[in-house]
Amino acid sequence: MIFFHEAKKLFHLQGDSYSYFMQVRNGILTHLYWGSRLPDEDVSALIPEVQAYASFDNEYNRLTFEVPTQEKGYYAQRALNVLNHDGDDVLSLRYVSHEIFHGKKALTGLPSAYAEDDADTLVITLEDPLTHVRVHLNYTVYTGFDVLCRSLQVENAGEKDIELKNVQEASVFLPKGEYDILHLKGSHCRERNALRSQLPRGFFSLDSRRGASGHENNPFLAVLEHNADETRGQVYAMTHVYSGSFRLSTDVSIDDRVSMMIGMHPDVFSWHLAPGESFQSPEALLVYSGEGLGGMSQRFHRFIRKRICRGYWRDLPRPILVNNWEATYFGFNEEKLLAIAEKGAKIGCELFVMDDGWFGKRDSDNCSLGDWVVDKKKLPGGLKPLGEKLNALGMRFGIWFEPEMISPDSDLYRAHPDWCLHVDGRERTEARQQLILDMGRKEVQDYLIDALSKVLESANITYVKWDMNRNMTEGFSCVLPSERRMESQHRYMLGLYRVLDEITSRFPEVLFESCSGGGGRFDCGMLYYMPQTWTSDDTDAFERIGIQWGTSMVYPASAMGAHVSVVPNHQTMRITPFETRCNVALGGNFGFELDLSKLSDEDTEKAKAAVRTVKELRTVLQQGTFSRLIDPTRHDNLASWQFVSEDEKQVVVCLYQRRVKPNMQPERVYLQNLIPDARYRNQETGETYSGAALMHIGLNVPSTWTDYDSWVFRFERV
Ligand code: GLA
């Protein structure tokens, strides 16, 4: 619901469990409150206008601007910096008008959350009286989903050119408090490890300048009460529906005022706006949870599954796949692929994914990106007969692409050496021996749409792994005029989104999975087009627990690709039991990534059993409510998480133990989110317990003599 109190010019955005108040005070749109849901009433007198303490520091520095800019005595972080024609960036935004409507408009050129008759939107227009820069602020409130969407457009309604230097699409002030921050940090093979620390004083930021959301920092930040845990305490969290460079920041002023922002990274962005032109920011997703981090994640998960992910596969059980990358790398032919697929079919897999190496002359990673034509040396008959043979085995056919890239050793590069991002006169820095296409150029977009469509039409392909294996260097488009060169990174994203929009609409029943050297571009922008992402190139089961744990802070299990691989593991050389590798992979979209044709009889039986379990449970796992039970970043030996089906009838608890320790105190796992008075039957032992007992007494961690052991407990409500 969105309320407007005309006399007080007070806005109240009321979600199912949160409220957000703003008021126009002396023409300035002022943030009043974001937190637990309140009845609709006039609360403005509870938050009096700030007074200047002394003439040295006027009241402007204490105002809680909804869009902080450079004006009068405001010295804190700014959400918007607009260089006007005279070269200064003073911007006094004042309320002009607003509009409230049912529904939600898609953002032009960018992915965004959508509504299904369950949202209302408020658009507030502010304007600077001198330059006539107008800012339209969009707020969407849902019924049934506790996420507040925010974005803004900057319109040049003046008569002179302006330059956007900094655009943060959401900025909020939090109540004074003792806070921690939680964010997801990493690198290639170590993505999204949850890191919690004290909220630093002063300015703190985490970001990406890479031209992708990146491995280092996921575009997510939570500010939480120091005492908050998985089930208790207040949490304020942000992410956005964007896949490019970004900045998330907090600022704690000298007088303990706390603010938080998300937006474009100002170091790699600026945007030229001629009179009459507008700029659309990405969309921020804001979550308030009064029920700790678990409550925050559950709000994100449902929303991402139902209002970011779209299309044919949104609610369908995801196929169990076998991917040949770690099985063969580049060294395969049709016979080898079919041998793996045949065994996969016997085990119960449903989809075979042919990874990198099927095109051009790509026998290693030094060539052919851009030449999306099948390598007849490896696949003499081409893709169509391979697809038919897979289909005859009962398997769907999936294929890998890395569309945004170009190898210097490729026919595409020889024909179009200027199609890559570069700066004339400077070395074109290669990474993994490849360069990046200038996705901002229409001819490049059209080439890709055409080349990929031809491949997808040439065979019965129903899955695509869309990879992106390096970040930008000299990330500039040589066709943009100098005053627009700094727009290159964002124009790249807009171009990529156009290609994704076109390809996913042309092939609506194809399941797309995004990837970027594993999980280097795991964000809501990508999930809008592709409902799942390859979580990490690290397939070691115990490393994966931390990665999947961190990823689950924001993203649902249905968004995470998780595969069983060989031991010794290729990234860590660690040896873990086959069952444990399966038990970790069932925390995401389950698959295999090893040479199944070489699997021992014993492991084959275990693989069959795991596939049977996943088929029985995947609706619970992919669409259920996820709770984190034992935190591997805090417990030195255990990790545990839990899924409850949407109808609250089935409960699955996964428990992992790192190593055997002698003479241990018995440990317990406390379940969450059960109905206290309901009874649940352990499907293995037949014993039944109340939800209250399972939550408060918990389960005993079984004793074991095996390192890297794991258990899956299944309960049914009776
Ligand atoms: C990336 C992906 C891998 C694999 C390789 C192929 O690293 O994350 O899964 O597809 O590329 O080159």
Region at 415 (left for phi over 0; alpha for psi -120 to 50; beta for the rest): alpha
Confirm if 207 and 248 have CB atoms less than 8 A apart: yes
Distance CA(590)–CA(260), nearest Å, equals: 36
513-541 pLDDT tens trace: 999 999 999 999 999 999 999 999 999 99
When pLDDT is cut at 50, 70 and 90, the band that residue 59 belongs to is confident
Mean pLDDT value of segment 164-187: 97
469 pocket-lining for ligand 1 (C-beta < 6 Å): yes
Distance CA(122)–CA(22), nearest Å, equals: 12
647-662 pLDDT tens trace: 999 999 999 999 999 8
With the most atoms of ligand 1 within 8 angstroms of its CB, the residue from 516, 537, 544, 560 to mutate is 537
When pLDDT is cut at 50, 70 and 90, the band that residue 54 belongs to is low
**Residue 632 clears pLDDT 70, i.e. is over it:** yes
Residues of the chain with CATH 2.70.98.60: 2-308
538 pocket-lining for ligand 1 (C-beta < 6 Å): no
Mean pLDDT value of segment 45-50: 90
Virtual CA dihedral for 166, 172, 176, 179, nearest 10 degrees? -80
Mean pLDDT value of segment 168-197: 97
For ligand 1, the distance from its centroid to the CA atom of residue 469, given in whole angstroms, is 7
- Domain covering 630-717, topology: Immunoglobulin-like (2.60.40)
> What's the length of the chain?
718
With the most atoms of ligand 1 within 8 angstroms of its CB, the residue from 324, 325, 326 to mutate is 325
**Residue 263 CB neighbour total at 10 angstroms:** 25
How many helices and strands, by DSSP H and E, does the chain display? 12, 38
Query: Going by CA atoms, what residue is nearest to atom 6 of ligand 1?
Result: 356
Q: Is 207 a catalytic residue?
A: no
Per annotation, catalytic residue among 537, 538, 540, 709: 537
For ligand 1, the distance from its centroid to the CA atom of residue 547, given in whole angstroms, is 17
Give me the pLDDT at residue 524, please: 98
Per annotation, catalytic residue among 207, 371, 409, 467: 467
94-138 pLDDT tens trace: 999 999 999 999 999 999 999 999 999 999 999 999 999 999 999
For ligand 1, the distance from its centroid to the CA atom of residue 517, given in whole angstroms, is 6
Confirm if 76 and 253 have CB atoms less than 8 A apart: yes
Query: What are the CA-CA distances from residue 267 to residues 245, 263, 264, 486, 502 (Å)?
Result: 9, 12, 9, 9, 30
Q: Which CATH superfamily is domain 2-308 in?
A: alpha-galactosidase from lactobacil brevis (2.70.98.60)
Query: Going by CA atoms, what residue is nearest to atom 7 of ligand 1?
Result: 517
Give me the pLDDT at residue 1, please: 96
The amino acid at residue 102 is H
Confirm if 321 and 398 have CB atoms less than 8 A apart: yes
Residues of the chain with CATH 2.60.40.1180: 630-717
Mean pLDDT value of segment 404-417: 98
Instruction: Give phi and psi for 369, each to the nearest 5.
Output: -65, 130
**Residue 464 clears pLDDT 70, i.e. is over it:** yes
Q: Where are the beta strands (DSSP E) in 574-685?
A: 589-593, 625-630, 638-644, 650-657, 668-669, 679-682
85-94 pLDDT tens trace: 999 999 999 9
Query: Going by CA atoms, what residue is nearest to atom 11 of ligand 1?
Result: 517
Coil, strand, or helix at residue 352?
strand
Q: What is the mean pLDDT of the chain?
A: 97
Q: Is 467 a catalytic residue?
A: yes
With the most atoms of ligand 1 within 8 angstroms of its CB, the residue from 467, 526, 539, 593 to mutate is 467
Contacts of 308 (CB under 8 A, 6+ apart): 111, 113, 241, 524, 527, 528
For ligand 1, the distance from its centroid to the CA atom of residue 322, given in whole angstroms, is 14
Question: Global pTM?
Answer: 0.98
Rg (CA), the chain: 26
**Residue 58 clears pLDDT 80, i.e. is over it:** no
207 pocket-lining for ligand 1 (C-beta < 6 Å): no
For ligand 1, the distance from its centroid to the CA atom of residue 115, given in whole angstroms, is 34
**Residue 49 clears pLDDT 90, i.e. is over it:** no
The two tokens of residue 566 are: 């060989």
For ligand 1, the distance from its centroid to the CA atom of residue 518, given in whole angstroms, is 7
Q: How much of the chain, in percent, has pLDDT values that exceed 90? A: 96
Q: What is the DSSP letter of 190?
A: S
